[in-house]
Amino acid sequence: MDKNRVLKCRTSLPVFRIVEELKDFDPIELMKFYNNWECLLKKKIPYGQFGNLLRICIVVTQDEGTTQWNFFDEKRFLLKLGNGNFKEANVIIVRCNGDVIQVEDEYIGSPVDAADLSQRKEGFLVIFIDCREVFFFVDAKLVHFARDIIDEKRMGVLTEKCLPAREYRKLINNQYEEEVNGQRGFKYWKNKGKRLLFNSPEIMFHKPLWSYLNSYVLDGKVDSEVQLSGTADRTDIRILTFEERKLYIIEIKCLGRSNKGKPERSDCWANQGILQLKEYLEDEKESTRGVLVLYDGRRENKEIDWIPKENWHEKTDENPMRFYLISEGASIRAQKMLKEFKKIK
Amino acid sequence: MSLIDYYSLKECVQKNKNYKRLSEILYVFYSGKELGWPHISKIGVQKSIYLSEVLAPLKKVILSFLNFIYHKRGPYSADIQNSLDYLVSLGAIEVVKFKKRGKSAFVDYRISESGESVVHSLLIEPKEKEKYDWIKLVLRVIDAYKDAFGIGKKFEDMDKIVDLVYEEPSFKEAQKKGRGKFIQMTLKDNLTMELTDFLKNIEETELSKFLKKEPKRDFETILLMFFEHLYLDFLSKREKKDG
């Protein structure tokens, strides 16, 4: 019997995370809802046909009400989706058994809107589905995020990608290769040619990394934005291992430009990350290691001019992980390489 | 149903030497109806009672079917089928569908109105109510998992749970011994209890270190964790197979 697997599932499966926050919810009812919901999204939606139309916000309630139709009746749901029924009003109030009580006259277009709705719907579970991307909110707090529901494995299912938390560098690197490099998993360039990132780029990189680590860290609980004891600070990502109780803190920073007119974020921003990490590691006395992850969208791919190491916390990983974000397509890169090659010749 | 019919049916059930077995089967059908299942198949009855039975020590409930053997479609007890046939002959259970495929017979059953009345009268007794509550709780968890992603491709309705029963530790152990061998159900060397004790221990001693709030520590959560364990075993096996 694998203790790590049991603890992983018990602490990280969305149902248990939600029940921890919403004590009034019946865990069996919620599990039924979650299993049906997962099956609907993973198996029954033809994304090629309906993917772009699938932007809905589900509010799960325990309240009674007159049933209109059942959300898990996939034929009916797909028919409504295909007819564009959720183009203007997409807030569906659902009971755990899938009975739809009401479709509210409101349109939720982004996770920010969904978080706001969740704040208004205190004591309910709010799920925002944007094609294959899924956000779970409870009282405006993001409790679970799946970058791609089709790819997401059930918490506790062992795959070759799973690694212990101590191999965090490998895990972060794998996530870069699988999801970040070449915008394979999500988009971050607002304008590739001008190397302009979307606004608040840290948030864009933070959630997918959290989701990835949540799925593939074998032996620990992965939390996002955990408040440090006695302070108002929140760490980006925190991993706490089950057996040895080792604590890893991950801080994410993005370099480059995300707003026209504003200067490029570079060395100073990276060093701010190191100092931020230092504070977190000082506050969190039990921490084992802290690592800075840089997603580098600067024009030039150059090393960071770091502040002297004596200003770093001793538990900070000496080699921050910098990923230079490639904006050119393969053909342009090949042309450039060819030019370089000719120069050398 | 006339009053005389009702009393004779109730007496038939209560005076039967297998009264406890008959009542447990009736509770499965009654709970199934409450959960909105239109019928339960032969396979479904066997699996529901097996899971209720093998997990019963968790709630310290004593049920009466113990002689399950390893069978090609999971755990099987001839006593259940005999009792079920008897209840059909009494009119407490009705046959909804009968289909023969090769040597196997596929039958769907449901509880009759008179069967429901018998259940109502039995539930007045606290011991019976306790048994019924337990069976219903197990069936609710079965209901929560029967439509989980990936399970029961070869089955319909609640029969899909067969895939999870195949992962049940006591059944798996019997599987090693071969078809027709008895499944260990007594407390000694019971692998199911070993797993539930393990889950209970984690819930009671380890979990609070990783949660912000104190966990509930109730039977529902232990049962859910038990089924989740079976489900994860099933998914991991499939993951390995798919490479």
How far apart are the C-alpha atoms of B112 and B93, rounded to whole Å?
A: 5
Domain with CATH 3.40.1700 in chain A: 3-146
How far apart are the C-alpha atoms of B137 and B223, rounded to whole Å?
A: 9
List the 289-318 stretch of A: residues with Cβ below 8 A of B. Answer: none
Q: What is residue A11's predicted lDDT score, i.e. its pLDDT?
A: 93
Q: What is residue B7's predicted lDDT score, i.e. its pLDDT?
A: 64
Q: What is residue A318's predicted lDDT score, i.e. its pLDDT?
A: 95
Q: Does B228 touch chain A (CB under 8 A)?
A: yes
Helices of type H across A40-120: 47-50, 74-82, 111-120
Phi, psi of A121 (to 5 degrees): -100, 65
CB-CB neighbors (< 8 A) of B160 in chain A: none
Residue with tokens 């208004």: A120
How far apart are the C-alpha atoms of B93 and B113, rounded to whole Å?
A: 9
Under 8 Å between Cβ of A283 and A233: yes
- Higher pLDDT: A101 or A230? It is A101
- Residue A8 clears pLDDT 90, i.e. is over it: yes
The CATH label, of 3.40.50, 2.60.40, 2.30.42, 3.40.91, for the domain at A165-332 is 3.40.91
Confidence tier at A337 by pLDDT (50, 70, 90): confident
Helices of type H across B91-211: 113-122, 126-145, 162-165, 169-177, 191-201
Q: What digits encode the pLDDT tens for the residues A83-132? A: 999 999 999 999 999 999 999 999 999 999 999 999 999 999 999 999 99
Say if the ipTM goes beyond 0.95: no
Q: Does A6 touch chain B (CB under 8 A)?
A: yes
Q: What is residue B1's predicted lDDT score, i.e. its pLDDT?
A: 55
Q: What is the number of alpha carbons within 13 Å of residue B91 lying toward its C-beta?
A: 12
Q: What is residue A43's predicted lDDT score, i.e. its pLDDT?
A: 86
Q: What is residue A137's predicted lDDT score, i.e. its pLDDT?
A: 96
Under 8 Å between Cβ of B109 and B86: no
Contact flag B148-A1 (C-beta cutoff 8 Å): no
Q: What is residue A100's predicted lDDT score, i.e. its pLDDT?
A: 95
How far apart are the C-alpha atoms of A249 and A282, rounded to whole Å?
A: 12
How far apart are the C-alpha atoms of B8 and B236, rounded to whole Å?
A: 51
* pLDDT cut 90: percent of chain A above it: 73
**Which residue, among A240, A216, A253, A19, has the nearest Cα to A123 in the 3D structure?**
A19
CB-CB neighbors (< 8 A) of B228 in chain A: 9, 13, 156
Q: What proportions of chain A, in percent to the nearest 5, are helix, strand and coil?
A: 40, 25, 35
Under 8 Å between Cβ of A304 and A318: no
Q: What is residue B217's predicted lDDT score, i.e. its pLDDT?
A: 65
Cα A292-A250-A288 angle, rounded to 5 deg: 105
Q: In whole angstroms, what separates CA A121 from the centre of its chain?
A: 22
Lowest mean pLDDT among A44-53, A140-149, A327-336, B57-66: A327-336
Domain with CATH 3.40.91 in chain A: 165-332
Q: What is residue B2's predicted lDDT score, i.e. its pLDDT?
A: 53
Lowest mean pLDDT among A41-45, A70-74, B95-99: A41-45
- Higher pLDDT: A275 or A337? It is A275
CA distance A121 to chain B (A): 21
| Sequence-separated (6 or more) residues with CB below 8 Å from residue A314 | none
Structural class in CATH, domain A3-146: alpha beta
How far apart are the C-alpha atoms of B228 and A155, rounded to whole Å?
A: 10
How far apart are the C-alpha atoms of B56 and B134, rounded to whole Å?
A: 8
Contact flag B145-A156 (C-beta cutoff 8 Å): no
> Which DSSP helix (H) or strand (E) runs through A136?
strand A133-138
Query: Mean pLDDT for each consecutive 10-residue tract of chain B (243 residues)?
Result: 62 75 95 95 94 91 84 88 93 92 87 94 93 96 95 87 93 83 77 91 86 75 95 91 75
The residue type found at B74 is G
Two structure tokens written together for B238? 């499939």
User: What DSSP designation does A263 have?
Assistant: P
* Nearest CB partner across the interface for B224, out of A28, A36, A158: A28
Contact flag B239-A157 (C-beta cutoff 8 Å): yes
Cα dihedral A18, A253, A251, A169, rounded to 10, equals: 100
Contact flag B239-A159 (C-beta cutoff 8 Å): yes
- Higher pLDDT: A192 or A213? It is A213
Lowest mean pLDDT among A202-216, A230-244, B40-54, B84-98: A230-244
**Which residue, among A65, A54, A154, has the nearest Cα to A109 in the 3D structure?**
A54
CA distance B81 to chain A (A): 29
> Which residue of chain B is at minimal alpha-carbon distance from A97?
B144
- Residue A287 clears pLDDT 80, i.e. is over it: yes
How far apart are the C-alpha atoms of A79 and A85, rounded to whole Å?
A: 9
Q: What is residue B65's predicted lDDT score, i.e. its pLDDT?
A: 72
Under 8 Å between Cβ of B48 and B139: yes
Under 8 Å between Cβ of A4 and A218: yes
Q: Does B147 touch chain A (CB under 8 A)?
A: yes
pTM beyond 0.95, yes or no: no
Q: What is residue B243's predicted lDDT score, i.e. its pLDDT?
A: 67
